[in-house]
Amino acid sequence: MNNLQHFWQMVYKDIRLEWRMKHAIGGMLLYVISTVFIIYSSFIQLNPKEWNTTFWIVILFAALNANAKSFSTEPPERNLYYYSIVDPLSYILAKLIYNSLLLIILSGVTILVYFFFFGNPIREITLFVTALGCGSFGFSVVFTFISAISMQAKNSALLIPVLGFPLVLPLLMTLIKISASGLALLSDTSVWQDVGLIVAIDLVLVSLLIFLFPYIYKA
């Protein structure tokens, strides 16, 4: 019971912290809007294929921006303090839940901005939203793990994309394929099998994150 309380307190703490630092959340929104604006001014009109690809790239970098800093916003001593009062499971789960919530909200914003600028080419909304949800969650898992690792290494800002991008690439490629069938770019009867694959990867990665985190954080 105690752990559960700790967990919610940590999530609540992160949200409050984010809310207090309005420039951070504003910066992320600004990132999304300005990227989309750059895409708009260079493409003017997007056919569904370009829509799909650029959309996922924006999401990828949003994930990088939003989640990479998850362990570095607060000073390391304070992280250590949290670690000593709550158990690692609820600590990492709180980070993960908070990160994925943030990213899901950001991808919601991105998709609205995309609708506003480029229109809505989505044919199968359930499929697309499922892909978006699972994908954002998977990105959050990977980047939370990577930011936990790179926080302890030197020049962590450089390390995060280097370590993270190869890891999310298989996820990203499968997601682009799924959402391509959501946009009716290709007809694939076994697309839900791919969704199942994504869910399976997500679950495995989450369990690995939970298992490995105590070892990363031992110091």
Partner 1 sequence: MTWWKYICIVLILLTTAAGILIPLKPGLHSVSQSSIKTGEQITFTVQGYNTYFEEAKNNRAWLRIGSDYQILASNHTPLSEQLLEVTFSIPPFLPIDKEATATTLIVDNAIDGAMVLPSAVFITQIDDWTPKGIEWWQKNPLENITINDKVSFPNRNILEETIRNLFFHVTLWFAMFLMFLISAIYSLMYLVKGDPMYDTKAYSITQTGIVYGILGLVTGAIWAKFTWGQYWSWDVKQNMTAIAMLIYFAYLILRNSVEDLDQKGRLCAAYNIFSFVAMIPLIFVIPRLTDSLHPGNGGNPGLGSEDLDNNMRMIFYPAIMGWFLLGMWASQLYRRYETIYQKHLEDANQM
Residues that bind partner 1 (CB under 8 A): 142, 145, 149-150, 152-155, 159, 162-163, 165-167, 169-170, 173-174, 177, 190, 193-194, 197, 200-201, 204-205, 208-209, 212, 215-216, 218-219
Task: Compute CA distances 60 → 56, 79, 140, 150, 162, whole Å.
Answer: 6, 26, 10, 18, 14
Give 111 or 160: the residue with its C-beta nearer to partner 1: 160
**Closest distance between partner 1 and the C-beta of residue 213, in Å?**
8
91 CB contacts (<8 Å, ≥6 apart)?
6, 10, 82, 83, 213
**Closest distance between partner 1 and the C-beta of residue 116, in Å?**
33
- Label residues 5-14 b or e (16+ Cβ within 10 Å = b): ebbeebbeeb
Query: DSSP string spanning 48-72?
Result: HHHHHHHHHHHHHHHHHHHHHGGGT
**Closest distance between partner 1 and the C-beta of residue 53, in Å?**
15
85 CB contacts (<8 Å, ≥6 apart)?
6
Cα–Cα distance measured from residue 125 to residue 54, given in angstroms and rounded to the nearest whole number? 18
Give 110 or 130: the residue with its C-beta nearer to partner 1: 130
**Closest distance between partner 1 and the C-beta of residue 16, in Å?**
30
Give 40 or 217: the residue with its C-beta nearer to partner 1: 217
Q: 17-21: long-range contacts at Cβ-Cβ below 8 A with a sequence spacing of 24 or more?
A: 17/73, 17/74, 18/102, 21/73
**Closest distance between partner 1 and the C-beta of residue 47, in Å?**
21
**Closest distance between partner 1 and the C-beta of residue 105, in Å?**
25
Q: Which residue has the tokens 């924006």?
A: 58
Give 132 or 159: the residue with its C-beta nearer to partner 1: 159
